[in-house]
Each structure stands twice: as C-alpha cells, then as structure tokens.
C-alpha cells in the first residue's frame, strides 16, 4: 500500500458545483479507479485559497499511471475543465506533495 497526495486549484465560485459533480461521480469512473488499484480517495477544499488537496491510498501493484489513457478519465477531465485549473489536455493541474509525517 502507498499513499499519494497532490494539490489542485478550483476556480472561485465553484465549490458547490465541484462537490455536486463528485457526489454524482460516474459509476464507470469509480470502477476504473478501483481497477487501477485506488481503494481510498479523498479530496479536501481550502475555501480561502480554493486549493484542493487530494489523498489516495493505492495497492502496491496499482496502475494509476495508466488512467490518463482511458476514455472515461479523459471524459471526466473534459467535464471538470470549466471549474478548475487545467492543462491543455484538460487534465487538472496537479502538484504532487511529499509526505513529511504519518501517524498510524
């Protein structure tokens, strides 16, 4: 098992819309994430800065690096591109974070 964290940026005024879209996450996307080895995934929002903080727990044999090539992932990115900072391919601008402390 490994943990991975990153930060992303939500555009101002879209906190409720972001939450709504994730409350209604597509079943096929959830299944794809699970199949890739992600079994625990949380996203938090700092409403002062509109920074999203995502944490994933992944199996040791995860294939999360393959997600970008999947049609449903790219469709989700297109769906979310109007409310968050994205790269030219609509993937979220995501900055990996280094773990500096963990308590079990």
d(CA 10, CA 3): 22
Question: Residue 58: CB partners within 8 Å, gap ≥ 6?
Answer: 1, 2, 3, 4, 36, 37, 38, 39, 64
Catalytic residue among 22, 62, 90, 102: 22
Q: Is 62 a catalytic residue?
A: no
Catalytic residue list: 22
């Amino acid at each position: 098992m490994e943990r991975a964290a990153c930060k992303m940026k939500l555009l101002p005024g879209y906190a409720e819309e972001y939450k709504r879209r994730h409350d209604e996450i597509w079943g096929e996307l959830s299944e794809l994430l699970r199949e890739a080895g992600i079994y625990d995934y949380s996203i938090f929002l700092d409403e002062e800065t509109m920074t999203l903080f995502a944490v994933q727990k992944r199996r040791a044999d995860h294939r999360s690096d393959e997600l970008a090539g999947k049609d449903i992932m790219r469709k989700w990115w297109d769906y979310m591109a109007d409310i968050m900072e994205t790269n030219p391919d609509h993937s979220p601008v995501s900055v990996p974070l280094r773990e500096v402390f963990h308590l079990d």
